[in-house]
């Protein structure tokens, strides 16, 4: 997989340091918004050319995709069948949703038409994240990243703001013969079909069987690697 991110915590700290020293007041749009997001607990940010998204891109030629990683302690609780003390996934989903709305409003306040959510432009967050080179879509239908496995919660905004979009290469599908998530599913909800363009959600998941237990997230071999093994 490609390197995880151009904007991460180390870079956010460097930007804040530069600002404190009074240097580079005219930070470019990308850096300014990356700092905004990472100051609100996003762990990574990418700016994406939205043109492969079809009609939506005519109005919103750029996308900003960002996310937060789930903690290893939370994942370990799930892995070992302990009820987690905190509702970390739900809380992160709410936080990234709120941050998406706040980002869209901030951009709109600067005169850049922006939209958040999935339905308005029919672009799931993970589709944009894949375009951004953040990961591939696994047999568990989740985004699989290099740094955090499936343990990420995403947010995104489509926008007319002239962000400089990186030249990202979508990550190649990486499941291969692996079936760890499929075999870990207690209800047989995952069909084992690998994702590719044109494959529907229903080809990969029997929705009526999915209990949202998150075992397929935790048991992905890339999530296990992020956790440091089992």
Q: Applying CB under 6 A, which residues contact ligand SF4?
A: 138-140, 144, 174-175, 178-181, 185, 187, 189-190, 210-216, 220-222
Residue 138 beta carbon to ligand SF4: minimum distance, rounded to whole angstroms = 2
Alpha helices in 135-212 (DSSP H): 180-184, 201-204
Q: Count Cα atoms within 13 angstroms, Cβ side, for 99.
A: 27
Strands 44-49 and 62-69: what pairing?
Answer: antiparallel
Residue 78 beta carbon to ligand SF4: minimum distance, rounded to whole angstroms = 10
Nearer to ligand SF4, 123 or 140 (CB): 140
- Distance (Å, whole) CA 58 – CA 56: 6
Nearer to ligand SF4, 9 or 179 (CB): 179
Residue 160 beta carbon to ligand SF4: minimum distance, rounded to whole angstroms = 34
Nearer to ligand SF4, 27 or 221 (CB): 221
**What b/e string do you get for 173-197 counting C-beta neighbours within 10 Å, with b at 16 or more?**
ebbeeeebbbebbeeebbeeebbee
- Distance (Å, whole) CA 4 – CA 17: 23
Nearer to ligand SF4, 99 or 220 (CB): 220
Residue in the shown chain whose Cβ atom is closest to ligand SF4: 138
């Amino acid at each position: 997989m490609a390197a995880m991110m151009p904007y991460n915590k180390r870079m956010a700290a460097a930007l804040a340091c530069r600002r404190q020293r009074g240097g580079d007041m005219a930070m470019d749009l990308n850096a300014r918004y990356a700092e905004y997001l990472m100051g609100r607990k996003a762990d990574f940010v990418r700016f994406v050319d939205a043109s492969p998204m079809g009609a939506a891109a005519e109005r919103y030629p750029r996308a900003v995709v960002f996310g937060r990683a789930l903690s290893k302690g939370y994942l370990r609780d799930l892995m070992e069948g302990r009820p987690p003390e905190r509702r970390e996934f739900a809380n992160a989903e709410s936080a990234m949703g709120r941050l998406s709305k706040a980002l869209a409003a901030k951009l709109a306040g600067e005169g850049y038409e922006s939209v958040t959510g999935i339905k308005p432009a029919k672009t799931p967050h993970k589709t944009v994240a894949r375009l951004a080179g953040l990961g591939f879509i696994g047999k568990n239908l989740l985004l699989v990243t290099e740094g955090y496995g499936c343990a990420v919660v995403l947010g995104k905004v489509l926008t007319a703001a002239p962000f400089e979009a990186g030249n990202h290469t979508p990550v190649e599908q990486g499941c291969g013969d692996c079936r760890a998530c499929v075999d870990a599913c207690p209800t047989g909800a995952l069909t084992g079909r690998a994702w590719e363009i044109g494959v529907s959600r229903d080809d990969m998941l029997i929705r009526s069987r999915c209990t949202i237990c998150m075992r397929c997230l935790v048991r992905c071999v890339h999530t296990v690697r992020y956790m440091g093994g089992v």
